Amino acid sequence: MEQQIKSIEQEVRDFTITSNELLENFRLKFISKKGLIPSLFEELKKASPEEKKKLGKELNALKQLAEGKYKSAQEETENTADKPHEEIDLSLPVIPHKLGNQHPLSLTRYRIIEIFERLGFNLADGPEIEDDWHNFTALNFPPNHPAREMQDTFFIEKNPDVLLRTHTSNVQVRLMKKQPPPIRSIMPGRVFRNEAISARAHCFFHQVEGLYIDKNVGFADLKQTLYSFAQEMYGKDIKIRYRPSFFPFTEPSAEIDISCLICKGKGCNLCKHSGWVEIAGSGMVHPNVLRHGNIDPEEYTGFAFGMGIERVTQLLFQVNDLRLYSENDTRFLRQFRPVLS
Ligand code: DAH
């Protein structure tokens, strides 16, 4: 038995543990219940008392040696060996790169621009921070017009009057001063009004202004231009109507309605059961406005219109709540794709 103890001791010393697997093998071989060392303890029971004393000591030393080696190897392998590492699976499909998409109002704006460009209109631009003259006075607004009041207009300074433009019509006279007729331009942009925010109103929204000034421009040109636009935008079956109206900067003036796309003219919530939806204000440019733009009204005439981009978009994509356009919720914004021409 003494011999056995010696050779097992040598085996314990020679055993190299470099992985969890070898550690377990070591434990099974030497220390576990059915391992070599416990079986030697079993055998020791049969030995004489004297032998027991001597061999017991040696066996205990072997046991301590094996257990000590096991413990320190265990600590070491915990720190280093066989940590599970992520394997790269090259056959997995790639994580798709999310593509952004354009805002529905931008999609509509580009579509409007595209249609009017084909009708011969070019693109013009004007400032959002404007003076009273271009926003009101030059457009024939009388000094006491209610639109100038604080409840409608965001004034930045009251004297001199600096304000956030309330409509894109502010670009009209700027354009007239910049270039002689013929003028055939559209002017998209953001406008601001002091309104409580709801599903139907917002403190800012978007318009597209249109201006066509040349010799012999008449109301028929206005009608056909906007009819062509509506057909391109909404399809050949669209109906259009002109309602007499008033704007200080046009004479005569008309509001333009198109047949409701949601109920096809039968009557629904969007069209307030009238079958018609207003999309623009329009009219023949007032002679005073032409004069403010240094254009002789005896020689030139023109038409103008101002269209709400939100409204055109609502009809296109059937979105009823204006607030969705500025909340920047990507779950909403992700849903829109270009309108095909
Ligand atoms: N500026 C008007 C508005 O914001 C819309 C408008 C009406 C524009 C008639 C025009 C026009 O150019 O001729 O309500």
* Residue range 142-171, pLDDT digits in tens: 988 887 876 789 999 888 899 999 999 999
- Is residue 310 in contact with ligand 1, taking CB distance under 6 Å? no
Output phi, psi for 77, to 5 deg: -65, -30
3-class DSSP state of 176: helix
Tell me how long the chain is: 341
- Ligand 1 center to residue 252 CA distance, Å? 12
CATH topology of domain 104-333: BirA Bifunctional Protein; domain 2 (3.30.930)
| 3 state DSSP class of 309 | helix
* 231 CB-near residues (< 8 Å, 6+ apart): 238
Token pair for residue 178?
Answer: 């910049």
Class of residue 255 by CB neighbours under 10 A (exposed 0-12, middle 13-18, buried 19+)? middle
Residue identifier of the C-alpha nearest atom 13 of ligand 1 = 282
pLDDT-derived band of residue 78, with 50, 70 and 90 as boundaries? confident
pLDDT of residue 175: 98
Express each pLDDT in 304-337 by its tens digit.
999 999 999 988 888 878 889 999 999 999 999 8
| Residue 114 binned pLDDT confidence (cut-offs 50, 70, 90) | very high
Ligand 1 geometric centre to CA of 307 (Å): 7
Distance 97 CA to ligand 1 centre (A): 43
Ligand 1 mutation pick, 249, 251, 290, max ligand atoms within 8 A of CB: 249
